[in-house]
Structure 1
Amino acid sequence: MSHIFDSTVLREYDIRGIIGETLGADDARAIGRGFGSLLRRDLGVDGPAPLVAVGYDGRVSSPMLEHALVEGLTASGCNVRRIGMGPTPMLYFAEASAEEVQGGIQITGSHNPANYNGFKMVFRGRPFFGADIRRLGAMAADGDWLDGAGEVESLDVMDAYIDRLLSALEGIDTAALEGLTVGWDAGNGAAGPALERLAARLPGKHHLLFTDVDGNFPNHHPDPTVEANLEDLRTLVAEKPCDFGIAFDGDGDRIGAIDGEGRVVWGDQLLMIYAEDLLGKLPNSTIIADVKASRALFDHVETHGGRPLMWKTGHSLIKSKMKEVSSPLAGEMSGHVFFADDYYGYDDALYAGVRLIAASARLGKSVTQLRGEMPAMLNTPELRFQVDETRKFAAIDEVKARLTGPDVPDGVSVDATDGVRVNTPDGWWLLRASNTQDVLVARAESESEAGLDRLLGQIDDQLRLSGLERGESVGH
């Protein structure tokens, strides 16, 4: 018995497809068989049956995939702990906080449209991605699975998870937070029920939007990095009024924020706040951000006694780098924020929300004040445009070669950590290939409109030299 996955489903950071077209129950079963077999082989086939935690998000297709995944895991000889519906970080918590659990799988389509779904995995405490996922495909094609008969149990971990989230406020005078008012937007995603329980136990006043889980996302698409999706939260913050507002993506591992004046606090700006707070107690720490982050963040980390490290985009890559360099804090423009000082090092938007309350309290400044003190940089949103799959990496290599040759102008330097990030007297621009789509991603930042225009001109010049152009922007 073997199984062939659709060629588009096995991605770099997760497994993702369109229900009824590229992803279905047979795929979920094969993922369970492969993951369970890998885990048993890693731990020793003759040892006791490994325990895998399984959770799922609020999409219509998630219960069907969960049922098939559990079948696959038990058929490979693994035991399964079903934790039910909840945000992805609750699954991470179920894996990280229980010594007896050796793996975890969350069924989630994250911020993708309602007809998508997918899987995020943890393997013995580390991210499962890239070569791991490709190996699942090869094993399925060969039918290279172990057989067994695992057992299934169900466990409600939500209250323990909420307790853990609230630990972020330890040491803070919660009486001082009673005057705080916060708006929250769950976007009808899987974080809704956990948010309701969390908000009921937080000091201050909390106004919640769209906590009913609805996999059709009737109010707005749950991607907090798109400003249009923050309009409901912005309105709530203005009307109540709130000190600030927090939004989640569909599975609760990415955060978005609005300050009390309605300004977006982007992923790198949130990281500036978290870094300033953390460096007060852990000076000289290495703080990691992806190559799309503002120069203002890296400068801010240095100013406050930290060591900034620019790294590749991708939550699995960032998590792996954090372990390698013992970083207590990392983040991405996409709203993934990872805390490893007093937490487990994974991306949890609910925890990040509580940490924003804590940081504001410890720093003695409102989120609005912290946002207002940040330098006024002009930057483009993430510009994503289609290129042929065969050209995307080659084009980046060509740009890199041209900009590291003998004719590079004075004041221009290239960081090739992930694509090309080009520093110039006007600011910086970035060009990188997406790991998950046939897309190039560009971004630029300057202190003036004229500088920004010149940077975009440089991007267009480099694309033209490689026979490409910056076409219409496409989504994730």
Structure 2
Amino acid sequence: MSHRFHPSVLREYDIRGIVGETLGPDDAHAIGRSFAAVLRRAGGRKVAVGYDGRVSSPLLEAALIAGLNASGVDVVRIGMGPTPMLYYAEATAADVQGGIQITGSHNPADHNGFKLVLMGRPFFGPQIAALGAMAAAGDWEQGSGSNERREVLEAYVDRILAGLHGIAPEALAGLRIGWDAGNGAAGPALERLAARLPGEHHLLFTQVDGTFPNHHPDPTEEKNLADLKALVAREHLDFGVAFDGDADRIGAVDGLGRVIWGDQLLMIYAEDLLRRLSGATVIADVKASGALFDSIARHGGTPLMWKTGHSLIKARMKETGAPLAGEMSGHIFFADDYYGFDDGLYAAVRLIAAAARLGRSVTELRAAMPEMFNTPELRFQVDEARKFAAIDEVKQRLMASGARIIDIDGVRVTTADGWWLLRASNTQDLLTARAESDTAAGLERLLAEIDRQLALSRLQRGS
């Protein structure tokens, strides 16, 4: 009546592991037992459960539900779909007090994991760690829960379409958009959504396939946008949108094939929002461009930098009352006329709406952004047991040198040339670097400083 998890799977803002190596059905069962105990002790009794299109997801779903039931919690099974569909089900069902999505998100195909919600709030950090302690002690409730199947896909798509409320259909009739589901969980919802949107829509890879046969579903890596770029160019489309494996993140390219990164998308959303909510707080993560924070302030908003991580951002939004937030990775959070969670499909509809309200095409909005010299996210593998220690070493050296740093998540360093960042991923055995400058020479100097700090900790980019 107890269970011990592999030490690598209980992460800061979700649970992830390699199926068959660090994560399996016994872990899913224990997660169900522990989460059910937390829920019941908080006064809840029913959990919504969904899963993504990975090959291992149905097996983990069965074990998770068995664990939830064994601790006396009833389960609403919403089936396969995007993670934000699970968030929607949890947020809108009056009889549900928690939610669990089985998903490996943008990780490799042999990975999987769990994203959790409790009483409408993200479940992360110490709460996830507590699940491990409860499992190790067998600190579980006993009971016999029930199961029911509930269809929410159509209602979810209806709610996404409400993001176009107030915009005349004729203003959108000429739109021509490309979409890439990446064989991820977005596919069925995207097909229904595109069929009901005004304009002309060209869809790629909507068949769900957990082996991801066409490209990996991670739109933060430009190579994964190659098919979308080719579609936009071939069909002369206005812009294109892509999603990660569980569709809580958005990627985009404009009509010229230029990538619109997450912080650049947030510039568009913020400009649109601040016309209606002047002075509002807009949150962005530490990886975001300095141009974004400047743009938010210039349009009458209050910019706030915060830690990377979907659960961390959502919690900060609730603390501050911010109506909008986003991450470089393409997680965009709307709370002005939505529920505050990250939803790639809804973000795509809000991009359409923003361009219509601002009276400029997505390509024009992208062209108006300042051309900074910056890197994308530079990710390189570092041993799981080493990654946080290495960041701490860099931080201590920088503090001793008197550098101007922000250390809310890794280290972000401001210099005369711009800024650079090093942080440890909370979901993979990676370090992430990024740098930005006004000049190409400045960017080279910043990258050289990153490399120097890594070398002092016996690491190097690309290792």
Normalised TM-score (structure 2):
0.97
Structure 1 position 37 matched with structure 2 position 37 = yes
Structure 1 position 54 matched with structure 2 position 49 = yes
Structure 1 position 457 matched with structure 2 position 448 = yes
2:47 & 2:392 partners in 1: Cα distance?
41
Q: Give the SS at the match of 2:223.
A: helix
**CA gap 1:292/1:258 in 2 versus in 1, 3 angstroms:** same
Of 298, 306, 320, 2:293 maps to: 298
1:79-90 map, 5 Å: 79-90=74-85
Deviation at 1:255, TM superposition (A): 0.4
1:20 & 1:396 partners in 2: Cα distance?
30
1:157 & 1:460 partners in 2: Cα distance?
49
1:109 & 1:454 partners in 2: Cα distance?
36
Of 111, 115, 121, 2:116 maps to: 121
Q: Give the SS at the match of 2:148.
A: strand
Please name the residue that 1:15 is paired with: 15
Deviation at 1:125, TM superposition (A): 0.8
Please name the residue that 1:427 is paired with: 418
State whether residues 393 and 457 of structure 2, in contact with CA within 8 Å, keep that contact through their aligned partners in structure 1.
no
User: Deviations along 1:388-417, whole A, 9 cap, x unmatched?
Assistant: 556544443444344445x64xxx632222
Q: Give the SS at the match of 1:12.
A: coil
2:61 & 2:117 partners in 1: Cα distance?
16
Please name the residue that 1:97 is paired with: 92
Q: Which moved more, 1:434-443 or 1:206-215?
A: 434-443
Q: Give the SS at the match of 2:283.
A: strand
2:292 & 2:441 partners in 1: Cα distance?
22
Structure 1 position 362 matched with structure 2 position 353 = no
Structure 1 position 309 matched with structure 2 position 304 = yes
Q: Which moved more, 1:82-91 or 1:396-405?
A: 396-405
Of 107, 125, 142, 1:112 maps to: 107
User: Deviations along 1:354-408, whole A, 9 cap, x unmatched?
Assistant: 0000000000000000000001111112223344556544443444344445x64
**CA gap 1:224/1:63 in 2 versus in 1, 3 angstroms:** same
Please name the residue that 2:145 is paired with: 150
1:8 & 1:198 partners in 2: Cα distance?
37
Please name the residue that 2:460 is paired with: 470
**CA gap 1:245/1:331 in 2 versus in 1, 3 angstroms:** same
Deviation at 1:213, TM superposition (A): 0.6
2:21 & 2:79 partners in 1: Cα distance?
25
User: Deviations along 1:137-190, whole A, 9 cap, x unmatched?
Assistant: 111111111011111111100111011101110111111100001100000101
Q: What are structure 2's unaligned runs of at least 5 residues? A: none
Structure 1 position 66 matched with structure 2 position 56 = no
1:303 & 1:434 partners in 2: Cα distance?
31
State whether residues 77 and 147 of structure 2, in contact with CA within 8 Å, keep that contact through their aligned partners in structure 1.
yes
1:10-409 map, 5 Å: 10-43=10-43, 50-387=45-382, 392-405=387-400, 408=402
Deviation at 1:51, TM superposition (A): 1.1
**CA gap 1:390/1:52 in 2 versus in 1, 3 angstroms:** closer
1:29 & 1:324 partners in 2: Cα distance?
32
Runs of 4+ with deviation above 6 angstroms: none
Q: Which amino acid aligns with 2:210?
A: G
Deviation at 1:55, TM superposition (A): 0.6
Deviation at 1:470, TM superposition (A): 2.0
1:289 & 1:75 partners in 2: Cα distance?
40
1:55 & 1:436 partners in 2: Cα distance?
20
Q: How many residues in Structure 1 have an aligned counterpart in Structure 2? A: 463
Q: Which amino acid aligns with 1:441?
A: T
Q: Which moved more, 1:425-434 or 1:342-351?
A: 425-434
Q: Which moved more, 1:289-298 or 1:452-461?
A: 452-461
Normalised TM-score (structure 1):
0.94
1:116 & 1:395 partners in 2: Cα distance?
25
Q: Which amino acid aligns with 1:271?
A: L
State whether residues 451 and 461 of structure 2, in contact with CA within 8 Å, keep that contact through their aligned partners in structure 1.
no
**CA gap 1:84/1:438 in 2 versus in 1, 3 angstroms:** closer
User: Deviations along 1:25-64, whole A, 9 cap, x unmatched?
Assistant: 1111111111011100111xxxxx6110001111111111
Please name the residue that 1:46 is paired with: none
Please name the residue that 1:441 is paired with: 432
Q: Give the SS at the match of 2:42.
A: helix
1:61 & 1:233 partners in 2: Cα distance?
27
Deviation at 1:270, TM superposition (A): 0.3
Q: Which amino acid aligns with 1:25?
A: P
User: Deviations along 1:274-312, whole A, 9 cap, x unmatched?
Assistant: 000000100101101011110110010011000111111
Deviation at 1:221, TM superposition (A): 0.5
1:435 & 1:59 partners in 2: Cα distance?
21
Q: Give the SS at the match of 1:242.
A: coil
**CA gap 1:73/1:380 in 2 versus in 1, 3 angstroms:** same
Q: What are structure 1's unaligned runs of at least 5 residues? A: 44-48
Cα RMSD, aligned residues only: 1.5
Q: Which moved more, 1:381-390 or 1:443-452?
A: 381-390
Q: Give the SS at the match of 1:92.
A: helix
Identity of aligned residues (%): 71
2:286 & 2:126 partners in 1: Cα distance?
22
